[in-house]
Structure 1
């Protein structure tokens, strides 16, 4: 049995939209590009043809990956969760005990993680260390840059 992939409803919608765009826009365009490049003659030295074929392969592979991921999706709606313990979907506000620097993250599925917008993967060392802990607790995390200690300031599921 395939392992389930946890994701939020928003993450599932983003992946479905990416798959729709790949199937309806990108793939037909690259097929057109391949046809155009074929018309230019000798394919053995036709860089446009080879580039388009490579792009087609990458698009088909991404579509296949998205289909597999979505078929294994376990959609968890954080707005239906509550409590003070950190779990999937939680928005967590942390303070670095050593620097007093505060950071906020939402714990999401691996396909949704995007540090630039504050979403970390449930598979990340930080998320794994936080799971099951509550507001007020200190959590020691072995990060790639070395150990850190965080205090959990807030947990919400909005």
Structure 2
């Protein structure tokens, strides 16, 4: 983990990572191991589809387990409800912003692993989140996006209760 760029995550986001890890380790992997063992007992492995697919799936699961383990190890869990200064934009804030055309957009700033731009959840490391960090209501922030530069005004800031 790069200490200059911590991998912030909400308690809920961390619980999802943990649940996915536990599902893969406790359910998926044992099921695939069972299939591979059964298929290996069926003779010639070079043309045994169940065996070959099972081995491939096991490698995929092991890779995903390694990635999830690293993410959890590097994660810094931050509960947005505990934010001491709720008048400014920090991790976990839900922010309503308006552009020059008075188009409003509401985004929640979460961990990069929790981001889903289509659902309004943006990663802490995204250009908009970086520009909004520390902003208060009424502040103007300039953001450089792939489509060009935009200026946003912070209209509202909320944190979970």
Structure 1 pair 96–18 and aligned structure 2 pair: CA distance change class (3 A): same
Structure 1 residue 76: Cα displacement: 0.8
Cα drift, residue 59 of structure 1: 1.0
Moved over 3 A (4+): 1-4
1:18 aligns to 2:20 (yes or no): yes
Aligned to 2:137: 135
TM-score (norm 1): 0.89
Task: Answer yes or no: is 1:96 the counterpart of 2:99.
Answer: yes
TM-score (norm 2): 0.88
Q: Which residue in 2 is equivalent to 1:83?
A: 86
Which structure 1 segments of 5+ residues have no match? none
Q: Partners in 2 of 1:141 and 1:40 — Cα distance?
A: 60
| Unaligned residue ranges in structure 2 (runs of 5+) | none
- CA RMSD, aligned part only? 1.7
What displacement does 1:91 show?
0.9
**Residues 49-108 of structure 1: CA deviation (Å, up to 9, x unaligned):** 22221211111111122222212221111011132221111111112223x222211111
Return the offset for 1:35.
2.1
